[in-house]
Structure formats: structure tokens, C-alpha cells
């Protein structure tokens, strides 16, 4: 990991993890992250004033390429049971993602 990635991970963990896990895991957010929809998280970075536009753009690109990195950052402070529940949800999304992709291609084509 590089210093930029560590700084982003630390910030995401500190600022967003509580909201992500408040009242239990946010399964809708897990689905959005899994699909690479990271806008709400990059908007949060931008509104913090702590990151340059270039850093935010790099984070957006990195999280779209590897949404699991954002997901894992949000779970850094979670208890073991919550982490397991979230990982089970992520694994279920991994299993159905190819089916959803195939359905969307069929609708287009």
C-alpha cells in the first residue's frame, strides 16, 4: 500500500464506517458498492476538504476497479460478527453478479 491509499483507508474508516454500520450493516450500500457505485463516498471525501480533486478522482477510479477496497475500509472498525455478516453478503453478490450481468446483456440485445 502507498501513503495515499493508507490515508484514504484511514479517513473512510474513521468518517464513514459508523454511518455504514449504524443499526447493523447497510445491505443496500453493500450492493451499491459491489456494483461500483461509489459516488456517495467520493462526495463525502470531496466535502471533507482534506483531499485534492486529483486524489478524489484516483479514489473513485480505484474503487470502481476494486470496490472491495472501499468495502473493506468501511469494515475496519466493525466487530467480528458484523464483518462475517458483511462478507457473507458480499459473497452472495459475487455469486449473483454474473447472472445479473447476463440478464442486462439479454435485455440490450
pLDDT in tens, the chain (109 residues): 566 667 778 888 888 888 888 888 889 999 999 999 999 999 999 999 989 999 999 999 999 999 999 999 999 989 999 999 999 999 999 998 765 544 554 555 5
Cell of 94: 459475487
> What pLDDT is stored for residue 102 in this prediction?
45
> What pLDDT is stored for residue 15 in this prediction?
85
> What pLDDT is stored for residue 98 in this prediction?
66
The Cα-based distances of 52 to 8, 12, 49, 58 in angstroms read 12, 15, 8, 10
**Dihedral angle over CA of 24, 25, 27, 32, nearest 10:** 140
Per the structure, how many domains does the chain have?
Answer: 1
Helix (H) or strand (E) holding 19: helix 3-21
CA distance 20 to 58: 22
Domain that holds residue 20: 3-108
Amino acid at each position: 500500500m502507498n501513503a495515499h491509499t493508507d490515508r484514504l483507508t484511514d479517513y473512510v474508516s474513521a468518517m464513514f464506517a459508523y454511518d455504514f454500520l449504524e443499526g447493523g450493516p447497510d445491505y443496500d450500500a453493500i450492493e451499491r458498492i459491489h456494483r461500483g457505485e461509489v459516488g456517495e463516498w467520493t462526495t463525502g471525501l470531496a466535502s471533507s476538504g482534506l483531499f485534492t480533486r486529483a486524489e478524489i478522482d484516483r479514489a473513485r477510479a480505484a474503487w470502481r476497479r476494486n470496490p472491495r477496497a472501499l468495502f473493506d475500509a468501511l469494515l475496519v472498525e466493525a466487530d467480528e460478527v458484523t464483518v462475517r455478516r458483511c462478507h457473507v453478503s458480499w459473497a452472495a453478490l459475487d455469486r449473483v453478479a454474473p447472472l445479473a450481468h447476463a440478464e442486462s446483456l439479454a435485455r440490450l440485445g
